[in-house]
Chains A and B, each alone.
Chain A
């Protein structure tokens, strides 16, 4: 039994027009995706801006209304509980946000921010609560004194760690991390990623790791799904995706990663030109007549590609 199972998830935004404001069409932000996340696993969701990766994450946690599809959490169909307060699902799934400046309430102390989920789900005395918060802050490497400070007193990396402490307060089983490090500097990013890995081991957490940075995804994830135009174009483990990409879109993304070895510049350029040529020539082989992505086909046990 998988921890999380998503079946044919769709999120459409209506386009309203005319004087009566009737729905005249839909923006298909997420258009039929299915995947599973096992206990303790990290699934990387990769795509460019506008591919629907963030919408997917938000829909799973209930920040976007689901148009169609089912969500199974630990084998139970919880689709109707998504977005409902005080449901066990809400407790089991938490989120880490990208923008550390807008995701922490500036008027609240760190203590209140981190304790908020505890206050919602548990009845603790003041002392117990303070003890739990101190423990949580300790896990992310912040001292107990930080509890009485306000978010503006912290740097970006520290804020993200406060966000992580809040996310793990209820011992969730799944965390949706929406671009958790893309606003951070390299050395700070390394620190946050390390904490995320430590916490994963410690609590046997699963992550849905949403990112556009293939380097980070490579470091964090065992399984990767590549998203384009609201659908998956390729899904597989790290080796499949990076060493044996099949879909032209995946190839293009991988070709675009800068090589850290300046002596390989020419090679990279040649490879990129090849891929770009193939993309122009064989575009119709990989996309339907309406420029949509095909359904996924099974290549091997774990490797799926969207081909006709």
Chain B
């Protein structure tokens, strides 16, 4: 079965203007999302994952943002469209779920009206039909009393309910692509499990592709089919989810996984988590050439890094940036081996 390509991003560069100069927050990202696939983008704050999502939706303020590259959605370059054409796609073919439902929802509009808004824009349904559809949607996202919620304002709902309402808005027109930007970060674990469950179920129903943006590796392990790990504006590793968790290769991916508290860690008082040396450089100070992770792993000799890092296909579908992964070891490992010799 060949799944159709839904979204193709080629060499996307999103730069923000700061003090008159442009600095790329997303720097040369290329990726493909297929139909009916959950594609996760994982990284820490400031790595450019949200900037990437907003670029796809063209939601950046054009006054100080420059977007270069190509974003093909079903063969159409989104960056070449004018606002009218774009508005026909946004909300109908691409839905977006934001992190904070309280700021993303309009506090002065009832939930029902907010769902109907996108139906009004994109369909020719009559008022009654729209209302029926809104109720269906609310029921579909697991809200027990849709007719009550329909007439409520966002502040009357709990966090989990608000997020459900937002999901129903994003899915109102059965989009073929859903961008979920940290959809569960603001929620409790039990609610998170419910929302993820819901997203999985809905995805099976409407067969859309999902771009899941998150910083939580647990969420990735639960949801994703394929994963891209981002660091400092670049994708450093792409792989199938099983491959990534069983065989992480890029030093950043490995360090990130080692810094997760797990069941095994913390058994003894001496147990310490892995810490990535140094800090994520700010956008203004980020160097553009060479391996961007190299300052964080200074114990790896500089000749192991490539001058102009390229992607290496380790296994089919598993791409890693720069050659340093072949020679990477944690700092503690070297110390141990020294003790042995």
Contact = CB atoms under 8 A, between A and B. Distances in A.
Contacts, number: 107
B255 to A, nearest CB: 7
A213 B274 CA distance: 18
Interface string B28-51: 000000000000000011000000
B275 A261 contact: no
Nearest to A259: B221
Contacts of A256: 189-190, 192-193
Interface stretch (B71-79, B103-111, B211-219, B308-316): B211-219
A254 to B, nearest CB: 9
A262 B241 contact: yes
A255 B45 CA distance: 27
Contact of B274 (A190, A216, A242): A190
A253 B261 contact: no
B124 interface: no
Interface of B: 44-45, 159, 188-193, 196-197, 215-219, 221-222, 224, 241-242, 245, 255-256, 259-263, 265-266, 269, 271-276, 279
Given A218-B261, A259-B222, A263-B242, A190 B273 contact: yes
Given A194-B275, A258-B221, A219 B215 contact: no
A187 to B, nearest CB: 4
Contact of B261 (A193, A242, A261, A263): A193
A262 B269 contact: no
B44 A185 contact: yes
A212 interface: yes
B218 A258 contact: yes
A215 B189 CA distance: 11
Contacts of A197: 269, 271-272
A232 B17 CA distance: 52
Contacts of A269: 197
Nearest to B47: A185
Contacts of B273: 190-191, 193-194, 219
Contacts of B222: 258-259, 262, 265, 268
Contact of A185 (B191, B215, B224, B271): B215
A186 B193 contact: no
Contacts of B256: 186-187
Closest 8 CB pairs of A and B: A258-B218, A219-B261, A219-B266, A190-B259, A190-B273, A256-B193, A48-B188, A185-B44
Contacts of A67: none
A157 B271 CA distance: 20
B153 to A, nearest CB: 20
Given A190-B273, A197-B272, A260 B262 contact: yes
Contacts of A185: 44-45, 215
A260 to B, nearest CB: 5
14 contacts: A185-B45, A186-B44, A186-B260, A187-B256, A187-B275, A190-B275, A193-B261, A194-B272, A197-B269, A213-B189, A219-B271, A258-B193, A262-B221, A272-B197
A252 interface: yes
Interface in A160-204: 185-191, 193-194, 197, 201
B186 to A, nearest CB: 10
A257 B218 contact: yes
Contacts of A219: 261-262, 265-266, 271, 273
A257 to B, nearest CB: 6
A49 interface: yes
Contacts of B260: 186, 190, 215, 260
Contacts of B279: 155
Contact of A186 (B189, B215, B262, B263): B215
Contact of B189 (A193, A212, A268): A212
A33 to B, nearest CB: 20
A220 interface: yes
A260 B269 contact: no
Nearest to A217: B261
Contacts of B224: 262
A252 B190 CA distance: 7
